[in-house]
Chains A and B, each alone.
Chain A
Amino acid sequence: MTVTSKSAVPVFYVAEEHDHPEGVSTPLGFWIYLMSDCLIFAVLFAVFGVLGGSYAAGPAPKDLFDLKLVALNTTMLLLSSITYGFSVLTMEKGRAGATQLWLAVTALFGAAFIGIELHEFAHMIGEGATPQRSAFLSSFFTLVGTHGLHVTFGLVWMVTLMVQVARHGLIEANKRRLMCLSMFWHFLDVVWIGVFTFVYLMGVLR
Chain B
Amino acid sequence: MSARKAVQGDGLIHVPSGEVHATLKGYLIGFGLSVVLTAVPFWLVMNGAIESKPVTAFVIMAFAAVQIVVHMVFFLHMSPKSENGWTILALIFTLVIVFITLSGSLWVMYHLNINMMPGHNMSGM
Interface residues of A (CB under 8 A from B): 14, 18-19, 21, 24, 27-28, 31-32, 35, 38-39, 42-43, 45-47, 49-50, 67-68, 70-71, 74-75, 78, 81-82, 85-86, 88-89, 92, 183, 186-187, 189-190, 193-194, 196-198, 201-202, 204-205
Contact = CB atoms under 8 A, between A and B. Distances in A.
Contacts of B71: 81, 186, 189-190, 193
Given A78-B35, A85-B27, A189-B71, A49 B102 contact: yes
Give the residue among A38, A82, A86 with the most B Cβ atoms within 10 A.
Answer: A82
Contacts of A198: 64
Contacts of B12: 14, 18
8 contacts: A27-B83, A28-B87, A31-B83, A35-B90, A50-B106, A78-B34, A85-B75, A201-B42
Given A85-B27, A193-B67, A205-B56, A28 B94 contact: no
Contacts of A38: 94, 98
Contacts of B46: 67-68, 71
A57 to B, nearest CB: 14
Given A21-B16, A28-B87, A35-B91, A49 B105 contact: yes
Interface of B: 3-4, 7, 12-13, 16, 21-24, 27-28, 30-31, 34-35, 38, 41-42, 45-46, 53, 56-57, 60-61, 63-64, 67-68, 71-72, 75-76, 83, 86-87, 90-91, 93-94, 97-98, 101-102, 105-106, 109
B57 A24 contact: no
Contacts, number: 120
A39 B76 contact: no
A19 B41 CA distance: 50
Chain B facing A: main interface SS? helix
A115 B91 CA distance: 32
A74 B38 contact: yes
Contacts of A189: 71, 75
A197 B98 contact: no
Contacts of B63: 197
B13 A205 contact: no
Given A28-B87, A190-B72, 12 more contacts: A28-B86, A28-B90, A31-B83, A35-B90, A35-B93, A75-B38, A82-B30, A85-B75, A86-B27, A183-B76, A193-B64, A197-B64
Given A38-B98, A85-B27, A197 B60 contact: yes
B111 to A, nearest CB: 11
Contact of A81 (B31, B45, B53, B61): B31
